[in-house]
Structure 1
Amino acid sequence: MTETREELATKVDIADWLSLRAHLERGGVVVVDPLLELAEVGAALAVDDVQKVQRWLSSALLTKPSGEQIQKWDAEKGKIFNCLIISPYVLIQEPAL
């Protein structure tokens, strides 16, 4: 999994909310808590590490965007996220300030 994580770390990109919003319609957007590394989450999904992903879901470290978040992001023109595509999911994370 370390190789996968290192490889995925090079694929983390930046995208604006408007570009990411299209993925929202098909339910593919997953919000990753800043406590987690995008590459680590991506690697866990890629190798189907169910226990780890389940733990993050139950701790609300991985969530679907809430209606409130979507409204907030829609209102913020040019809102930027770090993102990583692990098909069929698009992992998004607000950049650290």
Structure 2
Amino acid sequence: MSTARKDLEEMVDVALWEWLSPHAARARVILVGAKLDLVDVGIALTEDNTQLVQSWIEDGWLRHPTAEELSSWNANQEQEFTSLVVPPFVLVRIDA
């Protein structure tokens, strides 16, 4: 296992929306679809794998939250997400 992968795996954690909302206000929150692993996405971003990241965006597996999602989460600051910080972004997946 690569050091980068191990480091990113150790950084995956649960975050409440109230902690994430300031990042969302700066368009730094990226939703990661269930098909993708947060660490794999983090590695692609840190390695500047533009082609892979672009394909995920085009396929809808990476995206910014919609206005409706933001409104819902702002109303429920306790909403939990699995998250990974990969500056300048915060990758998140909803913990249903």
Tell whether the structures are fold-level matches, with TM greater than 0.5.
yes
Please give the alpha-carbon distance, in whole angstroms, between the structure 1 residues aligned to 2:94 and 2:37: 11
Is the 8 Å Cα contact of residues 34 and 94 (structure 1) preserved in structure 2?
Answer: no
Corresponding residue for residue 28 of structure 1: 28
Aligned to 2:61: 61
Mark the runs of 5 or more structure 2 residues left unpaired by the alignment.
none
Deviations 1:5-43 (A, max 9, x none): 232111101110011001012111111111111000000
Which contiguous aligned blocks of 4+ residues in structure 1 show a shift greater than 6 angstroms?
A: none
Identity across the alignment (%):
34
Q: Aligned AA for 1:13?
A: D
Partner of 1:93: 93
Query: How many pairs align?
Result: 95
TM-score (normalised: structure 1): 0.90
Q: Distance in 2 between matches of 1:52 and 1:5?
A: 17
C-alpha contact (below 8 Å) 1:6/1:39 kept by paired residues: no
Q: After TM superposition, give the deviation of residue 77 of structure 1 in Å.
A: 4.0
Unaligned runs of 5+ in 1: none
Partner-residue secondary structure (3-state), 1:85: strand
Distance of 2:35 and 2:17 partners within structure 1: 21
| Amino acid in structure 2 at the alignment position of 1:53 | V
User: What TM-score results when the alignment is normalised by the length of structure 2?
Assistant: 0.91
